[in-house]
Amino acid sequence: MSKETNLSESLKKLEEIVEWFENQGEVDVEKGIEKVKEGVKLIKASRERLKKVENEFEEVRKELEENSEN
Amino acid sequence: MNKIILEKLKKWQTERARRDNVEAYRVLPYSTLEEIARREPQNAEELLEVKGIKEKKLARYGKEILAIVNEADGEENIVDIEKEDRIFEVGEYLDYLNIKLLESEAKIKGEVSSVENRGNYIFFGIKDKEGESLLNCFIWGNDYSMSGVDLEEGTEVIIWGYPNVYKPSGRMSFQTKLIEVVGEGALKKAYDELKRKLEAEGIFAPERKKIIPDFSHKIGLITSHQGAAIGDFTTNLGSYGFDIKFYSSRVEGKQAVFDLVKAMKWFNKNMPDLDAIVLVRGGGSLESLQAFNTESLVREIADSKIPVLAGVGHEQDVTLAALAADKMVSTPTGAAVELTKSWDEAANKVDAAERELVSYLSGIFERFDQAKIRLHREFEKIGQAVFYSREKIDGFSKNVSIIFGRCISETRETIRNIESQLNLNNPERQLKLGYSLVSLRGKIVRSVKNVNIGDDLNIKVGDGEIESEIRKIHDL
């Protein structure tokens, strides 16, 4: 689990990054790029994580549907 | 069978029984009389062949029986004998005459003219109120007390019997079996007197009464085999399986007292284990009920070891026999009802118990049914609960699908928003738009004041960097 991305934590971090940008009067280019780079990484991870969760959910849902049909 | 012989044997049997002071059947049973009448034995040997006659009976009665059989045979010849001018000896003729006189049995009304009581027997005379006629009469002490009538000169009586010539004296007297008083008035008077007397003795006292046991089963019935009483009694007994021992007795008039007393004695002697003796007859006048108001019967009833139930109807006064009985009802039907009462009650109790049991059982069954219904209902409820639960779970899974699906798409949207915001804020994006980043010694140049001519500037554009030197500086 620790290795896996925690989706809500990632989202929180991303939101912090967005917030950071919004509060920045003058963008520190270097820092900004760093942030962007981190955000891109987080987005990618979140997407992967979301995809995985979605797949897991689909499996569970199928199982549920099969059971309720019985 | 020789009917004449049988008749004579019957008369002889009664006569002999009276003489020996025993019951008639003790002399010889009726069946034996019939057998003798059938066989007409001529001597002792032939008589011994008759069933019921052994040496003892032969010794005691043989001579008399053979005489009767011979006499009867002789009688048939009498017509012939008379034709032949037969000459009798005196005793022979008196025997013949006495047999003839038996047929003159009669009831005679008259006024008592003389009484001579010798204890074991009584001589008396009766005469017509008007006129000179006189009849000499004889009655055995037993019959006298059985009659329960006090003979006094001047009493008007009806006597019943037959004439007889006493051989040693040659005197004819009327062999009286029974004496009655004449007329309702006299009967009523006799009734009242006897009632008073017996009452004083305590014959009718309640404390003397025996209890007719509940569930009486073995019953001695005394009544006439004719008339309505026996039918009324037996048809009202129901189907309780009574064991009825029936002693047929006359019940009409004074003469019935012989049978009634005999019946009472017989049951007490021969069937002491009877639960009760039932004495019944329909209602009647004082005259027709005379026997039931006769002292001998009343005492017999009072002395009975077996409880007596009387069902004797009456027009005026309750019969003294009924008063002496342990229990009295007014009809034969009433007697039957009295006997069946305890059985009826028991039967009703059994019925009630049965009904109770059935209702109890059906109550149990009903509770079972109710329990079944309730259980069924519970099952239904559980079924419904299961159904609802499934619905809920189904709904839940649907909801979960929807909600979670929405959650995922929202998350995706959020990520996209963040991405686009990040893109907006990405400094490199500005470079692509044509803006450039100018820096001097690693620092972003934001003012002309920070640079001098000759400084080396680094210019960052979308696809690379440009090294340049400041040649002029202009203020805005």
Q: Which domains does chain B have, with CATH numbers?
A: 3-87 (1.10.150.80), 104-182 (2.40.50.140), 186-425 (3.40.50.2300), 429-469 (no CATH)
3-state SS of A1-67 is CCCCCCHHHHHHHHHHHHHHHHHCCCCCHHHHHHHHHHHHHHHHHHHHHHHHHHHHHHHHHHHHHHH
Report CA-CA distances (Å) from B91 to B84, B165, B170, B370, B460: 20, 10, 10, 102, 195
Collect all residues of chain A within an 8 Å Cβ-Cβ radius of residue B426. 32-33, 36
Is the CB of A68 less than 8 angstroms away from the CB of B390? yes
List Cβ<8 Å contacts ≥24 apart for B116-119. B117/B151
Instruction: Tell me how close the Cα of B355 comes to any Cα of chain A, in angstroms.
Output: 54
Distance CA B271, CA B342 (A): 23
Instruction: Tell me how close the Cα of B418 comes to any Cα of chain A, in angstroms.
Output: 7
Judge contact between A68 and B393, C-beta under 8 A: yes
In this predicted structure, what is the pLDDT of residue B80?
45
Judge contact between B254 and B290, C-beta under 8 A: yes
In this predicted structure, what is the pLDDT of residue B74?
61
CB-nearest partner of A32 from B390, B415, B425: B425
Q: In terms of Cα–Cα distance, which of B285, B323, B286, B332 is closest to B301?
A: B323
Rg (CA), chain B: 64
- Give one DSSP letter per residue of B176-213, joined into a string: EEEEEE-SHHHHHHHHHHHHHHHHHHTTT-GGGPPP--
Distance CA B242, CA B224 (A): 19
Distance CA B277, CA B261 (A): 12
Collect all residues of chain B within an 8 Å Cβ-Cβ radius of residue A47. 412, 415
Q: In terms of Cα–Cα distance, which of B78, B120, B80 is closest to B95?
A: B78
Distance CA A67, CA B11 (A): 116
A-B CB pairs within 8 A amount to 69
CB-nearest partner of A43 from B401, B419, B446: B419
Distance CA B277, CA B280 (A): 10
Phi, psi of B137 (to 5 degrees): -130, 155
What are the 10-residue block averages of pLDDT along chain B, 476 residues in total?
A: 81 84 81 86 85 83 86 58 72 88 90 91 91 90 86 89 91 92 84 92 92 90 88 85 90 88 94 94 87 92 94 86 92 90 87 89 87 87 82 74 81 86 79 84 84 89 88 85
In this predicted structure, what is the pLDDT of residue A67?
66
Element (H, E) at B390: helix B332-425
3-state SS of B309-333 is EEEECCCCCCCHHHHHCCEEECCHH
Helix (H, G, I), strand (E, B) or coil at B222: strand
In this predicted structure, what is the pLDDT of residue B174?
94
Please report the sign of the dihedral spanned by the C-alpha atoms of residue B343, residue B344, residue B349, residue B355: positive
pLDDT tens across A2-54, in order? Answer: 456 688 888 888 888 888 877 876 667 778 778 888 888 888 888 888 888 88
Number of neighbours of residue B397 by Cβ within 10 angstroms = 17
Is the CB of B397 less than 8 angstroms away from the CB of A68? yes
- Of chain B, the end-to-end C-alpha distance in Å amounts to 185
* Residue B444 in contact with partner chain A when CB distance is under 8 A: yes
In this predicted structure, what is the pLDDT of residue B173?
93
* Residue A49 in contact with partner chain B when CB distance is under 8 A: no
Is the CB of B427 less than 8 angstroms away from the CB of A18? no
The residue among A8, A12, A14, A41 with the most chain B CBs within 10 A of its CB, best to mutate, is A14
Burial (0-12, 13-18, 19+ Cβ within 10 Å), B312 = buried
Structure tokens at B220: 């001695």
Phi, psi of A41 (to 5 degrees): -60, -45
Distance CA A53, CA A61 (A): 12
Is the CB of B408 less than 8 angstroms away from the CB of A57? yes
* Residue A54 in contact with partner chain B when CB distance is under 8 A: yes
Q: How confident is the model at residue A1 (pLDDT cuts 50, 70, 90)?
A: very low
Distance CA B185, CA A68 (A): 113
* Partner residues linked to B108 by β-bridges: B159
Distance CA B172, CA B138 (A): 10
List the 371-390 stretch of B: residues with Cβ below 8 A of A.
390
Domain boundaries along the sequence of chain A: 7-69
Is the CB of B397 less than 8 angstroms away from the CB of A61? yes
Please report the sign of the dihedral spanned by the C-alpha atoms of residue B376, residue B382, residue B385, residue B389: negative
Judge contact between B16 and B64, C-beta under 8 A: yes
Report CA-CA distances (Å) from B21 to B16, B98, B120, B167, B268: 8, 21, 11, 21, 18
Is the CB of A43 less than 8 angstroms away from the CB of B428? no
Structure tokens at B229: 């009483």
Is the CB of A21 less than 8 angstroms away from the CB of B421? yes
Is the CB of B418 less than 8 angstroms away from the CB of A39? yes
Number of neighbours of residue B375 by Cβ within 10 angstroms = 10
Residues whose CB falls within 8 Å of the CB of residue B381, separated by 6 or more in sequence, listed in order:
none
Does the pLDDT at position A55 exceed 80? Answer: yes
